[in-house]
C-alpha cells in the first residue's frame, strides 16, 4: 500500500479478466490494461482499444522476472512478508547492477 497512490495503470494477462476487478481498479483511478477473453465479437473490439505500447510493457516485465528467477532462484527464503519484499528488491537491484556493468 506504500506506493499504491502512484499506480496509474495495471497490465495483466487474461487470467485477471473480471469485471469486478476492473471496476475496483477504475474506482481507485487506475487504468486496467487487461485483455478480454474472447467469448463474443465485441471482446475483439475491447482488445483492439487497448494501447499496445503500454500493454507490451507487461511482456518486458515478465521477461525480467523470468531472468531474475533463473539467475538467483525462484524461492524466497524469508518468512516475514517485509523481509520477503526486501529479498525481492535486493535481487532486482543486483540484476540492475549486473546489467549496468555489462553496458
Q: What is the pLDDT along the chain (103 residues), one digit of tens a residue?
A: 566 678 888 888 888 888 899 999 999 899 999 988 888 999 899 889 888 888 888 888 889 999 999 999 989 999 999 999 999 999 999 999 999 999 9
The structural domains of the chain, with segments of one domain joined by +, span 1-72, 75-102
- Three-class DSSP category at 31: strand
For residue 47, how many other CB atoms are within 10 A of its CB? 16
Which long-range CB contacts under 8 A does 41-46 form with residues at least 24 apart? none
The pLDDT of residue 4: 65
Concatenate the DSSP letters of all residues of 10-24 into one string: EEE-GGG--HHHHHH
The pLDDT of residue 1: 56
Amino acid at each position: 500500500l506504500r506506493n499504491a497512490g502512484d499506480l496509474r495503470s495495471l497490465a495483466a494477462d487474461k487470467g485477471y479478466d473480471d469485471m469486478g476487478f476492473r471496476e475496483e481498479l477504475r474506482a481507485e483511478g487506475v487504468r486496467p490494461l487487461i485483455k478480454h477473453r474472447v467469448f463474443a465479437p465485441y471482446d475483439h473490439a475491447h482488445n483492439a482499444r487497448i494501447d499496445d505500447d503500454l500493454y507490451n510493457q507487461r511482456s518486458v516485465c515478465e521477461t525480467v522476472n523470468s531472468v531474475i528467477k533463473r539467475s538467483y532462484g525462484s524461492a524466497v527464503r524469508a518468512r516475514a512478508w517485509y523481509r520477503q519484499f526486501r529479498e525481492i528488491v535486493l535481487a532486482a537491484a543486483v540484476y540492475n547492477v549486473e546489467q549496468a556493468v555489462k553496458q
